[in-house]
Structure 1
Amino acid sequence: MMTLLILVGILLAIVFGVRRYVASLDSQQKTAIKDGINEVFVRAEREGRFPRHPAFETDYLRDYPGLQKIEENYSVIREECEALMQRRENLVPMASLGGGYTAGDTHSAQWTTLMFKSGQFIEENCELAPRTAAVLRGVPRVYTAFFSVLEPNQHIQPHYGYYKGFIRYHMGVMVPRNNADECCWIRVNADPDDNAADDKGLIDRGERYFWHDGEGVMLDDTFMHEAANDSDEVRVILFLDVARRMPWYLDLFNRLVLFVIHREASVRRIREAARIKL
């Protein structure tokens, strides 16, 4: 027992030491560290320590069973979302949340959010959709959660996500006409060579997925991807970043990294900017 307590104490000391070190770095240095951590996961994936994700995965409940709770509560989530859409002018533009990794053309889209969680729950926002927030509190491994609101006739340009330790989950909440005309879609190019080329023109080689109400899909957002709402109505999905399933030693490393990241000043600023003031 004493040995275990000593080990825990050493681990906590290391984590808090790393946290203080990261806080002292400038943005370029932090980006370099993030890229190095991503390379650890990329190499592990290449070595087969965990499977490479396809463009889209719909058979995910064995690895992420908690997501079933979200889909079982779709009607509740939809009801609260519809009420919010009556005053969606109060939602926060994605461009204001400091997402430099998708800056520029990506954030030129009319794309807004109600963010429930970014490392920690944003309580003021949760009060605007309390039953949805209650469902999310019961789902393990979720670090980011929000309603992603894309206005009619909008296109989110090809881009790459920022962290390999996540798997992205989408559930259609308000999909115009339940996508009978396939106007609302996301496209992912999961080809390793195309992604290594870093040529966004290669997105046309990717695979498209068409959202439907109450249905979920998972994807690796570090692969090149784009999205569009080509309809004449607003489109809303529930958007989650979930800690990726990995062997225990990589999972522990990932959890420690996420512990530090979500207590870093830039993420605290995102939480503050995401607060909706009615």
Structure 2
Amino acid sequence: MFGLYDSSVRLMRRVFDSRIDDAPVLDATRHFPDAARFVANWQAIRAEALDVAANLRNIPRFHDIMREQADISANDARDWRMYIMKAYGVAFQRNLKRCPTLASIVEQSPDVLSASFSFLAPGKHIPPHHGPFRGILRGYLVLSMPLDANGNPAATLTVDGHAYGLHEGEFMLWDDTFEHEVLNASDQVRIVLLLDVRRRRMPFDMRILSNAVISIVRLGIRLRGEKIAV
């Protein structure tokens, strides 16, 4: 089963790579203008994430939700937990109701297919990997960032060989089909909001293929939805 998943991912990547030639990190103003809404409300969203974090042990680890991701989620003894409120268009109302500010902004942003709080345990390393296909972009809003002794972000996101250390309230839009990894080199939990954003600037045939892929993934999520809702 995992072999079929990996083969499908590689095939999709080759098809999209042949038709799309964008940079690893993109200008959110151009590619996702709604990012401004999330940034403007980051402190309220942060408060909601911290409320969720009060019961952190009850939030599933990523590989509990997707066994196919065990190699990057269960690679060490440290947790990567995901509080999923929307996944490829499937809304998890019980989770969304706990986060009314975020739920309202997501509802106003039709290009947001997924929205999750990502809780990265102290010392956790998500090893280098690639996302499945280029029909979506990844939004990354920092909500709670540990700092090192020099006041710099202690958790870094490395995309295509470039390390990014973002402060709280900062947003980054990037293509997760490029190799990327994350390291929380601190003794505190790092919290970010992860968004999957529909890529609009694609050739027509790639938009059709992307919509088909999203529909298939959405069906799979509905079948395993009970693992996601907390």
If the length of structure 1 is used for normalisation, what is the TM-score? 0.74
Question: Contact 2:13–2:133 at 8 Å: present in 1 too?
Answer: yes
Partner of 2:157: 186
| Equivalent residues in 2 for 1:1-278, closer than 5 Å | 32-45=7-20, 51-54=21-24, 56-57=25-26, 59-100=27-68, 102-108=69-75, 109-119=78-88, 120-177=90-147, 180-189=151-160, 206-244=161-199, 245-264=201-220, 267-276=221-230
3-state SS of paired residue (1:262)? helix
Question: Contact 2:126–2:183 at 8 Å: present in 1 too?
Answer: yes
Alpha-carbon distance, 1:269 to partner: 4.1
3-state SS of paired residue (2:187)? coil
1:184/1:34 CA distance change after superposition, 3 Å: closer
If the length of structure 2 is used for normalisation, what is the TM-score? 0.88
Paired with 1:215 and 1:236, the residues of 2 have a C-alpha distance of: 12
Paired with 1:114 and 1:214, the residues of 2 have a C-alpha distance of: 19
Paired with 1:73 and 1:185, the residues of 2 have a C-alpha distance of: 23
Alpha-carbon distance, 1:255 to partner: 1.5
- The structure with more radius of gyration: 1
Structure 2 residue runs without a partner (length 5+): none
How large is the RMSD of aligned CA atoms in angstroms?
A: 2.2
Letter in 1 for 2:191: V
Q: Which runs of 4+ in 1 moved over 6 A?
A: none
Question: Contact 2:145–2:154 at 8 Å: present in 1 too?
Answer: no
Alpha-carbon distance, 1:103 to partner: 2.1
* Structure with more helix by fraction: 1
1:105/1:143 CA distance change after superposition, 3 Å: closer
3-state SS of paired residue (2:168)? coil
Letter in 2 for 1:124: R
3-state SS of paired residue (1:163)? coil
Structure 1 residue runs without a partner (length 5+): 1-25, 46-50, 190-205
